[in-house]
Amino acid sequence: MRMVRAGTLLVCAAASLLGCAGSRLAPDPPAGLSLAGAWKLDRAASDDPQRVLARMRAEALRRMAHRMVATGTPRGGTRGAPTRTAQPEDAALDGDPVPLPMGRGVPPDPLERSPMARALLASIGRGDFLTVRQSSAELVLDYGNSQRRFTPGAHSVVSAESGVADQSCGWQGREYVIEVRAQAGPDVTERYALSGDGRHLIERLHIAPEELSAVDLTRVYDPTDETAPRQAPTND
């Protein structure tokens, strides 16, 4: 019996190691592949982030309305109405109550406390210009007023809005992948690759579901001779 259990444990351990190895990001790209160059966002060919934010805002409002009905609010609610236990996805949108403006003021934005919305805004807030510098030891994403540096195949702990996060980056096929798994907040994955004809840079952003449904945003960049507006660069 002990031999059977030991064999089972060995099989499980081997499967676990294989799973880790399968998900590892490679330090080297396929031969001859380079993302290096100066790129400018093609807004017409890219997803509209404002439409994505509008969908997120509509979902947040639906969830807030559902909670108001489920918990029985004082406004038009019935005293003693059944309540439900707050779910994890509610926490980031609940927080401390936001005081409503007096009279007929504008109600607070339901995405004000949304970690997923902040992750999306941080990405689109970097601007329209992107210069990629690629070497065997480093990949640099230069936005003009900020830079992000990555070591292919490396794992590291980085600062995040809600504390720290585990970051992995490297090559997965013909894509350069950056994975950030925060201790508190949504997991964020960025993928950079050339289009099939090699003439465009494609960025795919995925924000895993947290307080809202998962968010995906695709951005298309064209080669450019324009120079990005530069300030004193900061390193993310």
The answer, yes or no, to whether residue 37 has pLDDT greater than 80, is yes
Phi, then psi, of 124 in degrees rounded to 5: -75, -15
Question: Mean of the pLDDT values across residues 107-128?
Answer: 93
Using DSSP bridges, classify how beta strands 37-41 and 139-142 pair: parallel, antiparallel or unpaired.
unpaired
Could you tell me if residue 13 is inside a domain? no
Could you tell me if residue 9 is inside a domain? no
Question: Mean of the pLDDT values across residues 74-95?
Answer: 45
94-128 in b/e form (b: 16+ CB < 10 A) is eeeeeeeeeeeeeeeebbebbbbbbbbeebbebeb
Could you tell me if residue 54 is inside a domain? yes
Number of domains in the chain: 1
State the CATH number of the domain containing residue 43.
2.40.128.20
- Say if residues 49 and 124 touch (Cβ distance below 8 Å): yes
Could you tell me if residue 235 is inside a domain? no
Could you tell me if residue 234 is inside a domain? no
Could you tell me if residue 17 is inside a domain? no
**How many CB atoms are located within 10 Å of the residue 181 CB?**
15
Mean pLDDT over each residue of the chain, to the nearest integer: 82
Reported in sequence order, the residue ranges of 60-195 that DSSP labels E, i.e. its strands, are 129-134, 139-142, 146-150, 155-160, 163-172, 175-182, 188-194
Could you tell me if residue 15 is inside a domain? no
Could you tell me if residue 129 is inside a domain? yes
116 is in which domain, residue-wise?
Answer: 25-72+84-96+109-226
Q: pLDDT by residue (tens digit) across 135-187?
A: 999 999 999 999 999 999 999 999 887 789 999 999 999 999 999 999 889 99
